Amino acid sequence: MSRRLAPDEQALWALVAATVKPLHPRKPATPSTAPAPAPIIDRQRVGAVRARPAPAPLPAPARPPAPAAAPTESLDSGWDRRIASGKLAPDLVIDLHGLRREQARHLLYTRVADAERNGLRVILVITGKGHDPGPSPADLMEGKSARGAIRADLPRWLGEDGLSSRIAAVRRAHPRHGGTGAAYLILKRRRG
């Protein structure tokens, strides 16, 4: 249960309230509504109480890094049906598991560039499942993590400018093509 403030407490509260800046300012009152009269403050009675200076504003929170650019081309539902049914046949397979990270990254860049040059669209990238089975490489694009080093690095590599501009979509591989240890890269259609 709350109690009523004494007149000197009301005066002190009015001083404090006058220093507060609202987070969401109210809309101006309509002409039909008269503003409430300001409280009368007896500064002689409240003179012993001093208002604290307003705290320094907090620094703005750091902005998170910008996500990789979203692909400008998307897949239609026919692609997703073919992937889900296992009827999608990759044009090229890149097997990265067993390689060191830099070897795997270099091989990925080289083979994707070759595939693009030769007009190939569907690449199966095999990363292996790592020591701790978890989300697939395509799931890692959504920010999840796993233990396999190459598998964990693949989303970052695919988000780099050299690859992201070539890729229309990344999807989890069908179990017959490696399931959680692999991903399909669908390259953008060549124009002209």
Given a contact cutoff of 8 angstroms between Cβ atoms, the answer to whether 146 and 152 are in contact is yes
Where is 77: in which H helix or E strand?
helix 77-85
Separation CA 88–CA 91 (nearest Å): 9
Q: What is the pLDDT of residue 145?
A: 43
Strand, helix or coil at 18? helix
pLDDT tens-place values along the chain, 192 residues long:
678 878 877 877 777 777 777 777 777 655 555 556 555 655 555 555 555 565 666 666 555 544 444 444 466 777 878 878 888 889 999 998 888 899 999 999 999 999 999 999 999 999 887 655 455 555 555 444 445 788 888 889 988 888 888 988 888 888 888 888 888 899 988 765
Choose among 163, 180, 160: nearest CA to 172: 180
DSSP type of residue 23: S
Domain map of the chain by residue range? Answer: 7-46, 77-187
Query: In angstroms, what CA-CA distances link 82 with 66, 111, 125, 171?
Result: 32, 23, 17, 11
Of the options 3.30.390.30, 3.30.1370.110, 1.20.140.10, 3.40.50.150, the CATH number for the domain spanning 77-187:
3.30.1370.110
CB neighbour list of residue 113: distance below 8 Å, 6 or more residues apart: 166
